[in-house]
Amino acid sequence: MTQAVKTPVYLDYHATTPVDPRVFEAMQRYFCAEFGNAASSEHRFGWVAESAVKQARQRIASLIGAQRVAEIIFTSGATESNNLAILGAMRANAHKGDHLISVVTEHKAVLDPCHWWRQQGGRVTLLPVAEDGLIDLAALEAAIDERTVLISVMAANNEIGVLQDIAAIGALAKQRGVLFHSDAAQAAGKIPLDMEAMGLDLCSFSAHKFYGPKGVGALYVRRRNPRVRLAPLLFGGGHEQGLRSGTLNVPGIVGMAEALALAVAEMDEEAARLTALRERLWRHLAAGLEDLTLNGHKTKRLPGNLHVSVADVEPEKLLTAVKDLALSSRSACTSASQEPSHVMAALGLDEQRLQAAVRFGLGRFTSEAEVDYAAARMVSMVAQLRRENTVAQHS
């Protein structure tokens, strides 16, 4: 008998995460009591805000293996960070080349800047992936030419959870003298990240993916070996070393640093717990459902990610039927689209698997009871929908 759980059960942690109460506690004073502008240098309110930002910058730099505190540039989130990294690097280094390399399964926050660069006359190579979602490093190396400026490959896929070999890509980029950027929105706080060890020159982060607040993120920008030059996208005040003008979100920045510190400190234990929950969910689903397939690499994936295809069931109907489960069939940024997921399409799957995808995102507050409840509900509703389909086909 499945233990009673509070519904709806949230299983969409890739879309966003709740702010951890410990993070909220760290942020509170900077909303009302210490509300100063970090750029106000003539009084105590500004000094306190500036000090809070400085401490947060130091914490984040240390947590991601950055060598210098100034390599952390605060932004509104990973979308802005990706745009600044890609377009900023391509525009600032246009005298060196016009070629950009990325991957077909990237988030739209990377693919759309790539498309824009192509529209401006630049060259863009989008690498394919194998059925498991991984790129071929030999194909990446073959794509690099003398006019290649930047390689952008996400650390962890937001739909299928697949982990690319970032360290190997970084080593290749260094060997060929090409800048390397990674969208680490889904990876930060869940898997170890080290900018220096992984050979990263640029890396994007978003606080709300690791139990921090929405609307704040960061871009790591290497300052030595090489010193990365970027052209800014926003102007007006010269904040963040001239790379990102705008009044700093002090409470958000404090919350981001606290959230990342907690996630890194608890990473090993949490990864083991989520992996066990994920495997438990998979076992229950596989035991109760026929024609169930796992999408993406079996082991090189985020601990809390389970992405499956359920044959003979339309995912929209299934997700509507299980309103007591918060699930998704694709990225939150594209969930309103009726087109098949570009990530799923890139895996080369047959039409049935392509159209029948469901993403489970497990997180910090997911319990065994919730996993068991979700599995039971899915098995029950899939059986019901399949019976209805059979009746409709024979009527």
CATH number at residue 305: 3.90.1150.10
State residue 333's pLDDT score: 57
DSSP 8-state code for residue 288: H
State residue 25's pLDDT score: 98
State residue 356's pLDDT score: 82
CA angle 108, 114, 119 (to 5 degrees): 120
Task: List, for residues 53-78, the tens digit of each pLDDT value.
Answer: 999 999 999 999 999 999 999 999 99
Rounded mean pLDDT of 21-41? Answer: 96
**2 part of a folded domain:** no
Confidence of residue 354 (pLDDT cuts 50, 70, 90): confident
Residue at which a domain ends, from 210, 237, 265: 265
State residue 351's pLDDT score: 77
**79 part of a folded domain:** yes
Task: List, for residues 217-227, the tens digit of each pLDDT value.
Answer: 999 999 999 99
- The length of the chain, given as a count of residues: 395
**1 part of a folded domain:** no
Residue at which a domain ends, from 221, 241, 265: 265
Treating both helix axes as pointing N-terminal to C-terminal, what angle do 44-63 and 250-265 enclose, rounded to 10 degrees?
Answer: 30
Please list, in sequence order, all residues whose beta carbon lies within 8 angstroms of the beta carbon of residue 227, skipping any fewer than 6 positions away: none
Task: List, for residues 328-351, the tens digit of each pLDDT value.
Answer: 986 555 555 567 789 999 998 877
**Contact yes or no for 295/347 (Cβ under 8 A):** yes
Average pLDDT score, the chain: 94
- Do 204 and 316 share a structural domain? no
Instruction: Tell me the CATH number at 232.
Output: 3.40.640.10
- Do 162 and 88 share a structural domain? yes
Number of domains composing the chain: 2
What's the rounded Cα separation, in Å, for the pair 102 and 323?
Answer: 36
State residue 315's pLDDT score: 81
Active site residue 333: yes
State residue 44's pLDDT score: 93
**68 part of a folded domain:** yes
Query: Whole-structure pTM over 0.85, yes or no?
Result: yes
State residue 1's pLDDT score: 42
- Do 251 and 366 share a structural domain? no
Rounded mean pLDDT of 246-268? Answer: 98
Strand duo 292-294 + 325-326: pairing:
unpaired
- Do 274 and 261 share a structural domain? no
Residue at which a domain ends, from 245, 265, 285: 265
Please list, in sequence order, all residues whose beta carbon lies within 8 angstroms of the beta carbon of residue 283, skipping any fewer than 6 positions away: none
Question: Omega of the bond prior to 18 within 30 degrees of 0, cis?
Answer: no
Weakest mean pLDDT among 36-40, 169-173, 256-260, 388-392: 388-392
Domain limits for position 297: 9-18+267-394
**200 part of a folded domain:** yes
Rounded mean pLDDT of 8-12? Answer: 98
Q: In what order do the strands lie in the sheet with 148-152?
A: 72-75, 217-221, 202-206, 179-183, 148-152, 99-103, 123-127
CA distances from 307 to 57, 109, 119, 159, 219 (A): 35, 21, 33, 7, 28
- Do 141 and 256 share a structural domain? yes
Confidence of residue 352 (pLDDT cuts 50, 70, 90): confident
Predicted confidence (pLDDT) at residue 180 exceeds the cutoff of 50: yes
What's the rounded Cα separation, in Å, for the pair 75 and 97?
Answer: 27
Share of the chain above pLDDT 90, in %: 89
- Do 271 and 255 share a structural domain? no
- Do 273 and 207 share a structural domain? no
Name the E strands within 242-388.
292-294, 305-310, 325-326, 357-361
What's the rounded Cα separation, in Å, for the pair 261 and 258?
Answer: 5
**195 part of a folded domain:** yes
Please list, in sequence order, all residues whose beta carbon lies within 8 angstroms of the beta carbon of residue 223, skipping any fewer than 6 positions away: 67, 68, 70, 71
Cα–chain center distance at 317: 27
State residue 2's pLDDT score: 47
- Do 313 and 234 share a structural domain? no
- Do 174 and 39 share a structural domain? yes
**357 part of a folded domain:** yes
Task: List, for residues 277-316, the tens digit of each pLDDT value.
Answer: 999 999 999 999 999 999 999 999 999 999 999 988 888 8
Predicted confidence (pLDDT) at residue 264 exceeds the cutoff of 80: yes
- Do 237 and 276 share a structural domain? no
- Do 354 and 344 share a structural domain? yes
Q: What is the enclosing helix (H) or strand (E) of 149?
A: strand 148-152
State residue 289's pLDDT score: 95
Options 32, 114, 203, 333, the catalytic residue: 333
Predicted confidence (pLDDT) at residue 34 exceeds the cutoff of 80: yes
**3 part of a folded domain:** no
What's the rounded Cα separation, in Å, for the pair 348 and 131?
Answer: 6
- Judged by DSSP in three states, 118 sits in helix
- Do 296 and 152 share a structural domain? no
Tokens of 374: 């979700």
